[in-house]
Amino acid sequence: MSDKITKCIKVGLIGEPNVGKSTLVNQIVGEKVSIVTPKVQTTRTLVRGILNVDNTQLILIDTPGLFKPAKTLERYIVKNALAGIDDSEVICVLIDAKKGITPELNKIISNIKNKPLVAAINKIDLIKKDFLLGLAAAINELGVFKEIFMISALKNDGIKELINYLTGQAKISPLLYEEDIYTDTPVKNLAEEITREQLFLLLNKELPYSLKVETEKWEDLKNGDLKLHQAIMVLKSSHKSIVVGAAGQKIKEVGRRARLELQKALDRKVHLFLYVKVKEDWIERELV
Ligand code: GDP
Ligand code: MG
């Protein structure tokens, strides 16, 4: 047994949809752990990115944005987000440099009790320095943050300082993950998210929340290729028609794009088979 002293810290990333949480996790961990999209609300599951620096393990929990729950699935997302907060020792609140302090941000802050908060102003590459300094002062005046960082998750600016601070807060503990693991999100879930992302992008507003991708079969072929069968579950047969599209064109294009993304993320050749299934009760079943 090794007698080296190890430390761990779990950090919850909180912020409005699209503020750059997934981008930051990917930048810190250096892999495509979280799905980044220009659309809001695509992260449904908690994603942990894990960084090992020296003898310290930094565990990032990328929560879906907190927002007013309206639909059943949204409530489910919020429940997940709150679970992520409970599990964290420090909360890093991401703030969009262009948007500044919004009512949603105030709501998010007031919802978190008894956890140290740090602020990370993200997307600083998009604004002028004067504006940034004014914003930082305004955030400081809120009086709730222990530290304020200015970062660009996309351009890898200011990230090192943030990592240094967070690892500096870690407490002595056995390592919670093996050192060669960078995420505990099962790769199947990642693959499902990739296909779901393409569905969202292609179907756009036609089917906002009511679909889900499930892995039916995952076969590692001898030549290293992956044979993957995924079911796209929808609530109504009319939704199935939308997903399939005229003469199957939509689903074919979704499959083509998802396959390319999967190959990039998994770094192997993928044979992807998509099926559309009507399952009226999947949302309800997930909630119980
Ligand atoms: P999330 O919903 O909070 O997880 O946000 P994402 O990480 O998916 O990012 C949403 C969008 O913002 C994507 O188009 C990102 O490329 C973009 N983005 C994230 N960080 C930055 C940044 O520092 N600068 C700029 N210009 N864009 C960013
Ligand atoms: Mg995200």
DSSP 212-246: EEEEEEEEE-TTS-EEEEEEEEESSHHHHHHHH-G
**Ligand 1 lined by 42 (C-beta under 6 Å):** no
Sheet holding 270-278, edge to edge: 211-220, 226-234, 270-278
DSSP annotation string for 107-154: HHHHT--SS-EEEEEE-GGGS-HHHHHHHHHHHHHT--EEEEEE-BTT
Q: How far apart are CA 76 and CA 71, in angstroms?
A: 9
Which residue puts its alpha carbon closest to atom 8 of ligand 1? 36
**Ligand 1 lined by 43 (C-beta under 6 Å):** yes
Q: What is the pLDDT of residue 236?
A: 84
**Ligand 1 lined by 150 (C-beta under 6 Å):** no
Regions of the chain with pLDDT less than 50 = 35, 37-42, 44, 67, 69, 208, 287-288
Ligand that lies nearest to the alpha carbon of residue 66, given by its number in the listed order: 1
Residue with tokens 């942990």: 48
Q: How far apart are CA 16 and CA 99, in angstroms?
A: 10
Question: Beta strands of the chain (E only): which ranges?
Answer: 7-14, 47-53, 56-62, 90-96, 117-122, 145-150, 171-172, 211-220, 226-234, 270-278
**Ligand 1 lined by 37 (C-beta under 6 Å):** yes
Q: What is the pLDDT of residue 185?
A: 61
**Ligand 1 lined by 152 (C-beta under 6 Å):** yes
In ligand 1, the atom with minimum distance to the C-alpha of 19 is 3
Q: What is the pLDDT of residue 266?
A: 74
Expressed in angstroms and rounded, the spacing between residue 249 Cα and the centre of ligand 1 is 30
In ligand 1, the atom with minimum distance to the C-alpha of 17 is 2
Q: What is the pLDDT of residue 139?
A: 97
